[in-house]
């Protein structure tokens, strides 16, 4: 992802869960890593929510982590990395899937050089049914034999046909009794998306989850101003407020009240991350206050995002991104 990713935000998210109260704190949370790459984020997420020992009780947050990586080669590297470094309990709390996510289903063509630069490039849209137990078993394991990856070069011409689901279909599949990896109506606390420019399509495939407010926070990658505006407009339909992440500020982006005219230059590209949360929620307000703990004016502005702080934030977006 960009300069600020899920690893950077994990301490804030853990603190938010601790402040919800004991009963809510102890209910399991789902975290979805879309574009998990070689497994570094998978390990980091699990580490961030591990029990803190030598306290009156194991101070931890129960999570179910779902890591999605479409590249068969990179997925195998991820399974190797994760299997050698996870303890048994973490393995039970993580599900690795060699599939893609988009706004349509089918077996889409994936440009698969074998590194983090892979992306969906072609369409072969068909209506996929819910994932079966047999498919889940297949998608959870490396498709290459032992030793095949050792000498496999990076190949910018390589393409793969990848089973592609929407986020709505994937979650409804994992809730089925035969799979039972996610509980029905279980909170999806964070969805992290890093799909080389396909993030907007992934969100388009999550309409039902967004409508039902099942997702608490979404982190996405920013490539161009155009995609920032598309995502902000789309998420507002479901009462989510989006922000650009700088090193010390969450910069609101919303077409009507919180847009910055220099960002209408859609030809300029830059690299960073955005975050969306449920508008007006306690979790979003707490994140805002923690992130701006050294700026009293910003701390007190969250309830209505007062316009008198906009000049400060416009300055931030001009010079920090």
pLDDT in tens, the chain (321 residues): 444 467 778 889 988 888 886 556 578 899 999 998 878 778 888 778 776 655 555 566 788 999 999 888 888 888 888 877 765 556 678 899 999 999 989 888 777 666 665 566 566 667 888 999 999 999 999 887 766 666 666 666 677 778 899 999 999 999 999 898 999 989 999 999 998 888 999 999 999 999 999 999 999 998 778 888 899 999 999 999 999 998 888 888 887 777 777 677 666 666 789 999 999 899 998 999 899 888 887 777 765 554 445 555 555 554 344
DSSP annotation of 24 reads H
Contacts of 151 (CB under 8 A, 6+ apart): none
Q: Which two tokens stand for residue 205?
A: 């495939």
Number of H helices, E strands in the chain: 13, 12
Quote the pLDDT of residue 51. 63
Tokens 């989006």 found at: 242
DSSP annotation of 59 reads B
DSSP annotation of 146 reads T
114 closest CA partner among 153, 78, 163: 153
Q: Could you give the dihedral angle defined by the CA atoms of residues 197, 125, 107 and 219, in that order, rounded to the nearest 10 degrees?
A: 30
Contact (CB, 8 A) for 67 and 39 = yes
Quote the pLDDT of residue 37. 84
Quote the pLDDT of residue 227. 85
Contact (CB, 8 A) for 243 and 234 = no
pTM of the model: 0.86
Q: Which two tokens stand for residue 122?
A: 């072609």
């Amino acid at each position: 992802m960009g300069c600020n990713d899920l690893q950077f935000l994990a301490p804030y998210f853990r603190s938010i869960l601790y402040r919800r109260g004991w009963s809510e704190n102890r209910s399991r949370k789902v975290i979805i890593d879309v574009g998990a790459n070689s497994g570094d984020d998978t390990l980091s997420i699990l580490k961030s929510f591990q029990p803190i020992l030598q306290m009156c009780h194991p101070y931890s947050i129960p999570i179910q982590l779902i890591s999605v990586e479409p590249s068969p080669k990179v997925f195998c590297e991820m399974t190797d990395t994760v299997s050698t470094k996870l303890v048994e309990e973490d393995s039970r709390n993580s599900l690795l899937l060699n599939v893609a996510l988009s706004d349509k289903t089918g077996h889409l063509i994936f440009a698969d050089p074998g590194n983090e630069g892979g992306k969906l490039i072609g369409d072969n849209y068909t209506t996929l049914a819910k994932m079966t137990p047999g498919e889940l078993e297949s998608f959870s394991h490396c498709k290459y034999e032992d030793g095949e990856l050792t000498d496999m070069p990076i190949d910018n011409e390589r393409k793969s046909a990848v089973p592609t689901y929407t986020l709505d279909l994937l979650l409804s599949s994992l809730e089925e009794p035969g799979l039972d990896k996610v509980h029905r109506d279980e909170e999806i606390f964070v969805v992290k998306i890093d799909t080389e420019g396909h993030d907007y399509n992934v969100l388009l495939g999550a309409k039902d989850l967004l409508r039902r407010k099942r997702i608490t926070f979404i982190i996405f990658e920013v490539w161009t101003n155009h995609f920032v505006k598309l995502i902000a407009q789309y998420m507002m339909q479901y009462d989510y407020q989006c922000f650009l992440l700088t090193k010390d500020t969450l910069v609101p982006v919303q077409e009507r009240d919180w847009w910055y005219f220099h960002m209408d230059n859609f030809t300029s590209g830059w690299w960073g991350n955005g975050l969306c949360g449920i508008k007006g929620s306690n979790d979003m307000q707490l994140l805002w206050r923690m992130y701006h703990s050294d700026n009293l004016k910003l701390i007190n502005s969250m309830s209505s995002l007062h316009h008198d702080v906009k000049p400060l934030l416009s300055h931030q977006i001009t010079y920090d991104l």
